[in-house]
């Protein structure tokens, strides 16, 4: 195999490996909880803290909530593309896993994730969400 072929193969494998590592990390964090022990879910408050490009849905300061660990509550329209960025993290965050353990902040209790729209390439917009517990 040529050097170019190996590099292309490495680039194709890297995203799959990253997803596996993230799943493994979340599974190990959730494994810290004892089986059979009920952990009450905390309510999460999700706030738009930054916007880039021309997002047609969100403005800085918009917020919505996830209550009881699964109920999405909002007074504003929500974008399905943006919600996808929250999916891997809302359960561990609502169960008390620290954002620093998930790699979602350097310090503090607010986790940060970004919408999946690569606005520079699509002409759309992307937002950064801050996620914090808010009972």
Q: What are the extents of the domains in the chain? A: 1-32, 35-133
Strand, coil or helix: 5: helix
In the chain the first and final C-alpha atoms are separated, in Å, by 56
The CA distance from 109 to 83, in Å, is 20
| pLDDT of the residue at 123 | 86
Closest CA to 22 of 117, 131, 103, 113: 103
Sheet containing 71-73: which strands, arranged edge to edge?
71-73, 63-67, 44-53, 125-133, 111-114
Tokens (6 digits) for 32: 């810290």
pTM, entire model: 0.70
Confidence of residue 102 (pLDDT cuts 50, 70, 90): very high
Tokens (6 digits) for 73: 């509550």
| pLDDT of the residue at 134 | 82
Segment among 18-32, 49-63, 115-129 with least mean pLDDT = 18-32
């Amino acid at each position: 195999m040529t050097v170019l072929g190996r590099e292309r193969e490495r680039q194709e494998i890297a995203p799959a490996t990253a997803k596996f590592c993230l799943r493994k990390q979340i599974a190990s964090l959730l494994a810290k909880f004892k089986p059979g022990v009920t952990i009450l879910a905390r309510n999460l408050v999700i706030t738009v803290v930054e916007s880039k490009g021309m997002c047609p849905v969100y403005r800085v300061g918009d917020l919505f909530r996830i209550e009881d660990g699964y109920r999405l509550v909002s007074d504003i329209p929500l974008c399905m593309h943006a919600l996808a960025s929250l999916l891997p993290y809302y359960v561990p965050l609502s169960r008390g896993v620290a954002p620093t353990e998930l790699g979602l902040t350097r310090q503090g209790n607010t986790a940060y994730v970004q919408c999946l729209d690569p606005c520079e390439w699509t002409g759309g917009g992307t937002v950064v969400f801050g996620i914090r517990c808010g009972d």
